[in-house]
Structure 1
Amino acid sequence: MQISMHDIHKAFGSNKVLEGVNIEIKDGEVHALMGENGAGKSTLMNILTGLHKKDSGTILSDGKETFFDNPKQAEENGVAFIHQELNIWPDLTVLENLFINKEPVTHFGLLNTRKMKAVANEQFKKLAISIPLHQEAGKCSVGQQQMIEIAKALMTDAKVIIMDEPTAALTEREIQTLFQVIQSLKVQGVSIVYISHRMEEIFTICDSITVMRDGKTVDTKPIPDTSFDEVVRKMVGRELTDRFPERSPNPGDTMLEVKGLSRKGAFEDVSFSVRSGEIVGVSGLMGAGRTEIMRTIFGLDGRYGGEIHLNGKQVTIKSPHQAVSLGLGFITEDRKEEGLVLDFSLKDNIALPSLYSFAPKGLINEKSEQDFVELLIKRLTIKTESASTSAKNLSGGNQQKVVIAKWIGIGPKVLILDEPTRGVDVGAKREIYQLMNELTDRGVAIIMVSSELPEVLGMSDRILVFREGELTGEVSKEEATQEKIMTLATGGQEDE
């Protein structure tokens, strides 16, 4: 199926989101769609699939003018969309999520569970997914939920599949499996629109690229005819000299130390420390226990064994409220469910953890609160019409910036960042990295959990590697390589 979108315009109120966008998607190609957060990529694809209505412009499918009333109609006509923000029903099982609104029935009108399981198992086998079909989807990790969404889209027999940040929560192994699936879909003539901020993936898997900036099409080229630097320049409208800013760490006293930290079924006997002014990277494959360890330190997941020491004193952290009062901040990997109150404004989201500081006598000083929020919006270059805009109306990357802003606002002594640049464009990533440097220059101790090995290698002063709930090694910045980290993460033996 060939898709042509020509001169597409879209505004939400006075906010012009798309101003004359053009894109051509050919049969059996992987077409990258890139741009900074807020460039209009997701809006363009939402128009294609009928979630939004275009204000003007033309959409052609195999040469015929086409429009869909809703995403379900688009899916029925061969266009599927795997969204960046996952559409999982947490209280339903994995199997129920896969077949929601398209459940097969027997001749007697009963649910054909046997057929559902057979189809699901076949798809899971192709994607090398090992998740029990009877498990509640809400108990799956973000990465597992992403794989469920990918499997669900592939089950629709789509001719065009839109993938919005499909690898953001996946391990390297899962990414390679997904790439193999994409290659096999290409052979079958399926077209893929691939939206990602991971430049390495674009140059590995894509055939052509369309770059957007500020709601306009900047350029379309075959991948072999462009370069990393050219794409970045067209995305951000300026040169980015270095992907990762230089660090000059000057570590001070130990701010956080855990000794023999354990939680049954999640991780066991974990010990490490972080000093002021230091960034400690945390790496490992999915299921390694990285996120579970950080949630436990922050008091999110109940009782634990072992000891936690903050600034030299042993503490027992029973809740996030207590963790915040002790100077801990935690940017979670799931901004939608845990990082934001989506119906709240930016101002309310950013100010929420710091609220008491604006109310010394019980009444909120609204001017101080507004000045505080405006400063953080400006510092993190959050694209928004105003601080009163609802968080749910921002792009995914700008939502991530709001989450970071609210935790920076508390002035933490220790800041845990779990996948801090997930779904964030290359220009915004560098801004976050620079911000991390500024925080460590002020003496903040940072723990950065990341599935992006280049990020771990580029920003960490030390790297902790986990596998199946155990700390398998610590690597200095000078000794760190992708091969060494992956060896420790997979249980292989390091060469002497």
Structure 2
Amino acid sequence: MIDKDIVLEAKQITKKFMDVTVLSEVNLQVRKGEVLGLIGGNGAGKSTLLKILNGLYPHATFEGQIHIEGEPVKLSSPYDAQIKGIGFVPQETNVLESLSVAENIFVGNMKSNAKFGWFVSFKDINQKATQLLQQYNFLFEPEMKVRLLSIGSKQLLMIARALALKPKVLILDEPTTSLTLDEVTNLVQIVNTLKEKGTSIIFVTHKMQEIMNVCDRVVILRDGKTINTYPKEDFNEELIIKDMSGREIKNLYPQRAAAIKGEILKVRDLTVSDPKFKNKNTIEQISFSLREGEVLGIAGLTGSGRSEILNTLFGRNAYTKGEIWLNGAQVQIRNENDAMRLGFALVTEDRKKDGLLFLSPIRNNLTINNLASVSKWSLISDSSEKREAQSYFKMMNVKAASIETLVSTLSGGNQQKVIIGRSLNRNPRILLLDEPTKGIDVGAKNEIYQIINDLVEQGLSIILVSSDLPELLAMSDRCIVLANGQVMDEIDKKDATEERVMLAATRSAHF
């Protein structure tokens, strides 16, 4: 008997690449008007399953069956999945920057909006886009050029584009990764509206708070297998984390006993001009300090100036005014070489764009920042490089066969460990961490948090930028809150609450 409430079902899905089984007899059911959380660690098989459901891996390339509204289907392409009612929004931003919001929404679907089969009425497209945006409370206008949107708004635009095709099931792969806190709130409102209209959603996330608040049910994958399924009334954070990671994590944010000493860094009235807009600053007369053995958190919405501070301290952005003092002496940071010479190291927000050498092995990635230490007479010593790389490979507990493993084959969490290890290779005094746990699973996050604790206990000082507010408050000894490039509040750990941070972050902020 067919259960009419089940909109999409995957039965006994097995997928192999050569002799490697990445999915083994995975089962999944999505009910009408339900938000189903699909969760698991990096390498659990989530992405492979999504590609099967989206038709990217055609029916002949895997074992098992897919049913839509009780009927078996054989998906041969993403287009095939679309016309059968499956919408997919990937984690990576994929928009046409030079076109308008409305044109992006209907791109690839212009023919259905054409007159006489050929001529497109942009007036009609703008009207339809307006209706769609208002219906789901998207906060941008149809005629806006996409290049002017924030990264988070571009992600929401991709969701609008998927909704224009009126899917029965909408798959959202890590949809909040690039969103500000207010954009996350907007997304949750959109998800609730879709539920009320009967649209089913597969919601992929690594964030426990989203799992607990957004999902009606969760399916947990680990090592390519279905480990467990829980309805909302049975949600238990510790149990879910254990199922995801295969180990018990009693304290996601481990405690530390670092001795915070005297001031190591002082920034006074730092001002950085905006490279895109004349007579505008991204940072406006910012002042703060950092002590030895301290984790200083920087909170704020996207565009508030958080990453700009880190990039300025690392010599990537030029500052027009202000002073930087290190150990009581004023210093000049004109470029990255200056910053590294003075003891700064940066872990960038986007490890894919400018963080890693993806076609190189772990060994090269761990030593690239300090080749002088493994060279003799300007020639790299193979034995020295291997010895140096092996020490950081072990220190960071990178899970890979060896230092010769290609970085591109690692999970997100292990890639992040490699970046941190590389940053430590020059023995920095101040480590700048920009979204260090972005896009990695709960188990890997816990390991990164322990690495942070170990480093500050050894006397390193850290400036931490994170959009994950519970993470920022748990890992910081003190935090400053930015809005519009200015410091709005400075909060000690004992006084820090999410409400106080959000109040400061939205002060004078423009939405």
What's the secondary structure of 2:380's corresponding residue? coil
- Kindly indicate whether the alpha-carbon contact (under 8 Å) linking 2:10 and 2:67 is maintained by their aligned counterparts in 1: yes
**2-side partners of 1:289 and 1:227: how far apart?**
36
Residue 206 of structure 1 deviates from its aligned partner by 0.9
Residue 434 of structure 1 deviates from its aligned partner by 0.6
Q: 2:254 — aligned with what?
A: 245
Q: 2:269 — aligned with what?
A: 260
Residue 300 of structure 1 deviates from its aligned partner by 2.2
Q: Which has the larger Rg?
A: 2
- Superposition map of 1:325-404 within 5 A: 325-404=341-420
Provide closer, same or farther for how the CA distance between residues 484 and 206 of structure 1 changes in structure 2, counting only shifts above 3 A. Answer: same
Q: Which moved more, 1:179-188 or 1:3-12?
A: 3-12
Provide closer, same or farther for how the CA distance between residues 404 and 94 of structure 1 changes in structure 2, counting only shifts above 3 A. Answer: farther
Q: 1:431 — aligned with what?
A: 447
AA in 2 matched with 1:425: D
Residue 326 of structure 1 deviates from its aligned partner by 2.7
Q: 2:314 — aligned with what?
A: 298
What's the secondary structure of 1:478's corresponding residue? helix
1:20 to 14, 17, 25: 25
The question of 1:416 aligning with 2:435 is answered no
Which ranges of structure 2 fall in alignment gaps of 5 or more residues?
Answer: 1-5, 274-279
**1-side partners of 2:35 and 2:252: how far apart?**
25
String of CA shifts for 1:217-269, please: whole Å, max 9, x gaps. Answer: 11112121231111111112221121211122322343332211112321201
AA in 2 matched with 1:217: T
Q: 1:56 — aligned with what?
A: 63
**2-side partners of 1:296 and 1:131: how far apart?**
33
The question of 1:30 aligning with 2:35 is answered yes
Residue 181 of structure 1 deviates from its aligned partner by 0.9
Q: Normalising to structure 2: TM-score of the pair?
A: 0.88
- Kindly indicate whether the alpha-carbon contact (under 8 Å) linking 1:300 and 1:319 is maintained by their aligned counterparts in 2: yes
Residue 136 of structure 1 deviates from its aligned partner by 5.4
String of CA shifts for 1:361-401, please: whole Å, max 9, x gaps. Answer: 22222233234434444444444455444444444444333
AA in 2 matched with 1:314: Q
**1-side partners of 2:168 and 2:408: how far apart?**
30
Q: 1:218 — aligned with what?
A: 227
Which ranges of structure 1 fall in alignment gaps of 5 or more residues?
Answer: none
Residue 454 of structure 1 deviates from its aligned partner by 0.9
Provide the alpha-carbon RMSD of the alignment: 2.6
Q: Which moved more, 1:279-288 or 1:292-301?
A: 292-301
Q: 2:276 — aligned with what?
A: none
Tell me the matched-pair count. 491
Q: Percent identity of the aligned residues?
A: 38
Q: Normalising to structure 1: TM-score of the pair?
A: 0.90
What's the secondary structure of 2:379's corresponding residue? coil
What's the secondary structure of 1:2's corresponding residue? strand
AA in 1 matched with 2:213: T
1:171 to 174, 180, 183: 180
The question of 1:82 aligning with 2:92 is answered no
Provide closer, same or farther for how the CA distance between residues 450 and 124 of structure 1 changes in structure 2, counting only shifts above 3 A. Answer: farther
- Kindly indicate whether the alpha-carbon contact (under 8 Å) linking 2:303 and 2:484 is maintained by their aligned counterparts in 1: yes
- Kindly indicate whether the alpha-carbon contact (under 8 Å) linking 2:130 and 2:141 is maintained by their aligned counterparts in 1: no
- Kindly indicate whether the alpha-carbon contact (under 8 Å) linking 1:38 and 1:383 is maintained by their aligned counterparts in 2: no
- Kindly indicate whether the alpha-carbon contact (under 8 Å) linking 2:55 and 2:75 is maintained by their aligned counterparts in 1: yes
**1-side partners of 2:349 and 2:130: how far apart?**
28
- Kindly indicate whether the alpha-carbon contact (under 8 Å) linking 1:142 and 1:169 is maintained by their aligned counterparts in 2: yes
AA in 2 matched with 1:312: G
String of CA shifts for 1:57-77, please: whole Å, max 9, x gaps. Answer: 222222222232222332232
Residue 197 of structure 1 deviates from its aligned partner by 1.4
